Amino acid sequence: MDTSIPETHRNILTEPNHAVLTTVMPDGTPQSSLVWVDYDGEHIIISTTLERQKGRNIQANPNVALLVMDPRDQARWIALHGVVVKITDEDAEVILDDLTMRYRGLVHYYGDIFPVEQREKETRVTVKIQPVLVEVENQ
């Protein structure tokens, strides 16, 4: 099994391309969400909250799948199966603001996209996903 992200497809993960993250519900059914992603050279990075369904799902079952398509060439994509290896609130809002700038051109998630008060209602976390199987198309 190939677990590395090919150089030919890394830009799909580092440019502002929306990804579909699939997690496992408590009853074993899949649950998919649209997410912003980043890649640190080893892990896929997403931001979520512990209160959202995907956050609850990954705490209970760390197995996930991710699909990201190149919007300039829909036949070019990367898909992976992975395992969540880290969930942390450390620097979570800083990472979220970096993603907010990349995806929306705005400085702050809380205040520019959601009301600042929303911050107090949720536990923002950064999730690191270790790829265990990587598939690409249209190299």
Residue 32's domain is classified under what CATH number? 2.30.110.10
pLDDT tens, N- to C-terminus, the chain (139 residues) = 567 899 999 999 999 999 999 999 999 999 999 999 999 999 999 999 999 999 999 999 999 999 999 999 999 999 999 999 999 999 999 999 999 999 999 999 999 999 999 999 999 999 999 999 999 998 6
Count CB atoms within 10 A of the CB of residue 23.
23
Q: Is residue 97 part of a domain?
A: no
Does residue 66 form part of some domain? yes
Q: Is residue 2 one of the residues assigned to a domain?
A: no
Query: Residue 45: which domain range?
Result: 7-89+126-137
Q: Is residue 82 part of a domain?
A: yes
Return the pLDDT at 132. Answer: 97
Instruction: Provide the number of structural domains found in the chain.
Output: 1
31, amino acid identity: Q
Q: What is the DSSP string of 64-120?
A: EEEEEEETTEEEEEEEEEEEEEEEE-TTHHHHHHHHHHHHHS-S-HHHHTB-GGGGG
DSSP assignment letter at 2? -
